[in-house]
């Protein structure tokens, strides 16, 4: 027999523990990324060119530098300046900053796509800028941002595998450990692949549901 998945059985608890790490890292990074993306998108929509340039520059950095290089800089480089983080924190910070760059870009597009009349109506009613953004513009912008947000979520989940290079035991790293333990590579790696695949499918399924939900007011 060339393949022997039976030998994976005893490693399953180990793999599920690593799954938690992957999920925690993805969720924490996404949440942080979204929180950062909101002010960043407003910076990119500022009336002042200099302020907008800051936002554009931020995104260009994270777009232009490979993610693995970013992770290495944060994990290996920053301790030189007294900023020491463990692998999880370093991953979380890097992924969040990176996601913020991308999410803020689609959020900016989403905000711009909201009809200018909405802002005007809010202004004419005396509603403040903050409340207009929070209650009038964002809820509408999120509709067009939702698909790219789901994509970002999926991309982020897959990118977390890079964290295995700095020693955090995520699903990929766990699979590699099993490889070196059993000298069989295909079974552990394929199991890891299935783990990722199932998670990605689950996210896109939930994303579709969520999209329907945010669009409920459009139903006639």
Partner 1 sequence: MICVEHLSKSFGKLEVLRDISLNISDGEIVAIIGPSGSGKSTLLRCINLLEKPTSGHIYVDGVDVVDPKTDIQKIRQKVGMVFQHFNLFPHMTVMQNMTYAPINVKNMAPKQAMDKAIELLERVGLADKAACYPATLSGGQKQRVAIARTLAMDPEVILFDEPTSALDPEMVKEVLTVIKSLAGTGITMALVTHEMGFAREVAHRICFLDEGRLVEDAPPQVFFSTPKSERAKQFLDKVL
Would you tell me which residues interact with partner 1 (CB under 8 A)? 115, 117-118, 120-121, 123-128, 131, 135-136, 139-140, 217-220
Is the Cβ of residue 114 or residue 179 nearer to partner 1 in the bound state? 114
CB 85 within 8 A of CB 75: yes
Minimum Å distance from CB 129 to partner 1?
A: 10
Minimum Å distance from CB 118 to partner 1?
A: 6
Minimum Å distance from CB 119 to partner 1?
A: 9
Q: Print the SS3 string covering 135-175.
A: HHHHHHHHHHHHHHHHHHHHHHHHHHHHHHHHCCCCHHHHH
Minimum Å distance from CB 208 to partner 1?
A: 19
Length of the chain: 220
Minimum Å distance from CB 136 to partner 1?
A: 6
Minimum Å distance from CB 140 to partner 1?
A: 6
Is the Cβ of residue 54 or residue 123 nearer to partner 1 in the bound state? 123
Is the Cβ of residue 132 or residue 204 nearer to partner 1 in the bound state? 132
Is the Cβ of residue 60 or residue 128 nearer to partner 1 in the bound state? 128
DSSP 132: I
Is the Cβ of residue 88 or residue 138 nearer to partner 1 in the bound state? 138
Instruction: Give the CA distances from residue 5 to residues 8, 9, 30, 147, 191, in Å, rounded to whole numbers and listed in that order.
Output: 5, 8, 33, 36, 9
Torsion sign, CA atoms 119, 121, 127, 131 = negative
Torsion sign, CA atoms 102, 103, 104, 110 = positive
d(CA 75, CA 86): 8
Is the Cβ of residue 77 or residue 139 nearer to partner 1 in the bound state? 139
């Amino acid at each position: 027999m060339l393949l022997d998945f039976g030998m994976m059985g005893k490693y399953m608890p180990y793999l599920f523990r690593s799954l938690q790490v992957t999920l925690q890292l993805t969720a924490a990074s996404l949440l942080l990324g979204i929180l950062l993306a909101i002010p960043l998108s407003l910076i990119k929509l500022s009336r002042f060119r200099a302020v907008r340039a800051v936002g554009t520059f931020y995104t260009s950095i994270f777009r232009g530098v490979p993610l693995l290089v970013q992770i290495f800089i944060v994990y290996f480089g920053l301790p030189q300046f007294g900023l020491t983080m463990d692998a999880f924190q370093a991953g979380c910070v890097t992924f969040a900053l990176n996601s913020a760059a991308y999410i803020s870009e689609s959020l900016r597009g989403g905000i711009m796509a909201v009809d200018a009349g909405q802002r005007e109506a809010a202004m004419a009613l005396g509603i403040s800028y903050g409340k207009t953004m929070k209650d009038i513009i964002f809820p509408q912008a999120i509709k067009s941002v939702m698909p790219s947000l789901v994509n970002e979520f999926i991309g982020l989940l897959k990118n977390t595998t890079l964290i295995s290079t700095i020693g955090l035991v995520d699903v990929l790293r766990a699979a590699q450990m099993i490889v070196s333990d059993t000298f069989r590579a295909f079974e552990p790696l394929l199991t890891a692949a299935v783990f990722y695949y199932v998670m990605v499918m689950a996210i896109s399924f939930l994303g579709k549901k969520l999209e329907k939900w945010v669009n409920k007011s459009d139903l006639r």
